[in-house]
Chain A
Amino acid sequence: MRKTMTTSVGEAPPSRGRFVNTGNGPGFQVIDIGHTDYVAVVEADTAFWSLIKRSRLADALSGALPKAFTKSAGKFAKEMQRLRFGLKPSAVYFNPTERCNLNCTYCYIPETMRQSGTHMSEKKLLEALGILKAYFKTTVPKDQLPQIIFHGAEPMLNREAVFAGIEQYAKDFRFGVQTNATLLDSEAVDFLTNRNVSVGISLDAPTALVANRTRKNWDGQGVYRDVLAAMDRLAGYDGWSVICTISSENMRHLTRLVDFFHSRKVPTCLMNILRCTLPSSHAVKPSDAAAAKHFIAALDRTYELYQQTGRKLPVGNFANILLSIVAPTARRLMCDISPCGGGRCFFALAPNGDMFPCSEFIGLKKFRGGNLFKNDIPSVLASEPFKLVTGRKVEDISPCNRCAIRHFCGSPCPAEAHELNGSMNRIGAFCEFYEEQVRYAFRLIADEKLDGFLWDGWAEGMQDTVMVDYI
């Protein structure tokens, strides 16, 4: 509670909040977004933003902007509070095996696990889905299905059990499979596509020479050709996507990768910056500035292709940054929000039933919160290991606690912060990379290019709030 100053004539009235950046007035931060005409003004706690013509900034700060903020601040604060602390789990990242047939440079799952780990038996997998079904009935609204994403390691190594689960629980979950694509034969593709299962595959570059640098099998052989064969089999299906991991090995090829994805009619992709949770990834960590430069060039290329062909290639992780600004509650991915979605919107399940806040923690025993077959889920979600993640807030991290874009970035990722930088209350591996993305996002908004980077119909059913329409 704010204290008021006591004077010799009694209690002084508190500030009425009429002035920006003093007393109870709104704390506005001005950001140079690199645009010729506009700067951004942000109130960080509520994620309130506006783009103001450079020549009108002083007028805005002393007039329309604080008034508009006062009008909407309560609503936006509630929205952010619910988004950050009020959601309940509705998805599980389900690892049906510890093993993988690949040994990618930057994998966050320990090598011993991937090489000689265990599978979950079909019986246990079905039992696990039964437990999850019962749990989600208590957390997910009736008009929504919870999501199960078979994830890895490589889930297709335990294909029979995975497919049995999808078959038996088809009406109870929306299923997805994230796979390295090397085992996606025609039969597997038919099975998954006939059941509307979302399929995510991985490819880092448009050529074998570059793609095979980071994604290869245990003999060191790249798997580029296998992935392309799987892409051919998936062509024409709406429910697939490709993930590219940005590293020092492929960042110079991102623009050509966009051309490649677009020419192959990839419905959507993710271009995720490398996670530096395990030391093996550090060798291919790009600098923030270089990664941002190449990533933004690739995003520009998606827009050029959209203008030329009328067909979009949304880059999901960047689309999410845009949404975090223009429609915070519509964001789909929960890495770039604080606390992140780990342990509160979703959790990860290991093949022995052990539960972790996120797949990123599966190799880190300290973050095991319990076991699905032995503990009830709410008690695991409330466990100390889960609280370490769900309690990690930008307000407790420097420089995030004074950063204007803290709710557009979220200071990812806790696993990285803990392993790379030694504590939960540290930043992750990248900071400037996110700064540049947000600045770029604001420039797109200023130039009215937003729709070219988001899915068609992205704003359907949403309510509008015009925050300021005059100065």
Chain B
Amino acid sequence: MKKNVKKDVIAYRKSCKAKGTGLSHYILMDRKGK
């Protein structure tokens, strides 16, 4: 089995429009886990 070659560096960041509205007591389910 071919072994994955590990990169010297891993660094990325994704961006989108911020909509964060939830608090830890609740999560609004608009995303499925499947």
| Contacts from A to B (Cβ < 8 Å) | 37-38, 48-53, 56, 60, 64, 68, 72, 76, 79, 82-83, 86-87, 90-91, 93, 144, 147, 149, 151, 174, 176, 178, 198, 200, 238-241, 243, 267-268, 270, 272, 311-314, 316-317, 326-335, 337, 340-342, 345-346, 358-360, 412-413, 445-446, 455-459, 461-471
* Chain B residues closer than 8 Å to A86, beta-carbon distance: 18
Q: How far apart are the CA atoms of A468 and B27 in the complex, in Å?
A: 33
How would residues 10 to 22 of chain B score, 1 for a CB under 8 Å from any chain A CB and 0 otherwise? 1111111111111
Q: Which of B1-34 contact A (CB under 8 A)?
A: 6-34
B12 CB to nearest A CB, Å: 5
Q: 19 more A-B contacts (CB under 8 A) besides A72-B13, A149-B28, A413-B24?
A: A48-B13, A50-B10, A51-B10, A174-B28, A239-B29, A243-B25, A311-B33, A326-B14, A329-B20, A330-B18, A332-B27, A333-B27, A334-B23, A341-B20, A346-B21, A462-B14, A462-B15, A462-B16, A469-B11
Q: Are A312 and B33 closer than 8 Å at their CB atoms?
A: yes
Q: Are A466 and B12 closer than 8 Å at their CB atoms?
A: yes
> Which of B8, B14, B26 touches A151 (beta carbons < 8 Å)?
B26
* Chain A residues closer than 8 Å to B25, beta-carbon distance: 93, 151, 178, 200, 243, 272, 359
Q: Closest residue of chain B to A69, judged by CB?
A: B11
Q: Closest residue of chain A to B7, judged by CB?
A: A53
Q: Would you list the 8 A-B pairs with minimal beta carbon distance, nearest first?
A: A50-B11, A327-B14, A455-B31, A467-B11, A91-B21, A462-B14, A329-B18, A51-B10
Q: How far apart are the CA atoms of A413 and B20 in the complex, in Å?
A: 17
B26 CB to nearest A CB, Å: 5
Q: Are A326 and B32 closer than 8 Å at their CB atoms?
A: no
* Chain A residues closer than 8 Å to B26, beta-carbon distance: 93, 149, 151, 176, 178, 200, 243, 270
Q: Closest residue of chain B to A239, judged by CB?
A: B29
Q: Closest residue of chain A to B13, judged by CB?
A: A465
> Which of A149, A176, A198, A456 touches B34 (beta carbons < 8 Å)?
A456
